[in-house]
């Protein structure tokens, strides 16, 4: 059974204070790992797809990286508008038409 665990559950940072969110996964053959951002009261919004260990993707202050067991979402010099819940999901070989999501990390950036 594919599983995704995200840590920490919640993270509070000061504006400009860089940090990383973790997504650990077990999957029967990884087809893709996905990061989404979710603002309160809204649906998730797609950020990145990673396919293989060593791959990296960047968007503004966010950089996602992937190893064989986990993915990190690095946030560099965050701003208050980066406050959101960040969700990680995996697509495995056996459940190729399904995503399995982690429980999310709630990030708060204080000005």
Partner 1 sequence: NAGVTQTPKFQVLKTGQSMTLQCAQDMNHEYMSWYRQDPGMGLRLIHYSVGAGITDQGEVPNGYNVSRSTTEDFPLRLLSAAPSQTSVYFCASSPQGPEEQYFGPGTRLTVT
Q: Which residues bind partner 1 (CB under 8 A)?
A: 4, 9, 32, 34, 41-46, 49, 87, 89, 91, 96-104
Q: In this structure, what is the dihedral angle of CA atoms 76, 31, 25, 13, given to the nearest 10 degrees?
A: 20
Smallest gap from Cβ 65 to partner 1, in A, equals: 18
How far is Cα 61 from Cα 89, in angstroms, rounded to an integer? Answer: 20
Smallest gap from Cβ 46 to partner 1, in A, equals: 5
51: buried, middle or exposed (CB in 10 Å: 19+, 13-18, 0-12)?
exposed
* Residue closer to partner 1 (CB basis): 78 or 92: 92
Smallest gap from Cβ 23 to partner 1, in A, equals: 11
Q: In this structure, what is the dihedral angle of CA atoms 90, 101, 58, 20, given to the nearest 10 degrees?
A: -120
* Residue closer to partner 1 (CB basis): 34 or 78: 34
* Residue closer to partner 1 (CB basis): 32 or 76: 32
């Amino acid at each position: 059974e594919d599983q995704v665990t995200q840590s920490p559950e919640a993270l509070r940072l000061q504006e400009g204070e860089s940090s990383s969110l973790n997504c650990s996964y077990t999957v029967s053959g990884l087809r893709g790992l996905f990061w989404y951002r979710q603002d309160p009261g809204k649906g998730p919004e797609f950020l990145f797809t990673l396919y293989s260990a060593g791959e990296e993707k960047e968007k503004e202050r966010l950089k996602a990286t992937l190893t064989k067991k986990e993915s990190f979402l690095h946030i560099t010099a965050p701003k208050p508008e980066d406050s959101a819940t960040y969700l990680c999901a995996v697509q495995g070989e056996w459940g190729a038409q399904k995503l399995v999501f982690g429980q999310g990390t709630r990030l708060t950036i204080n000005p």
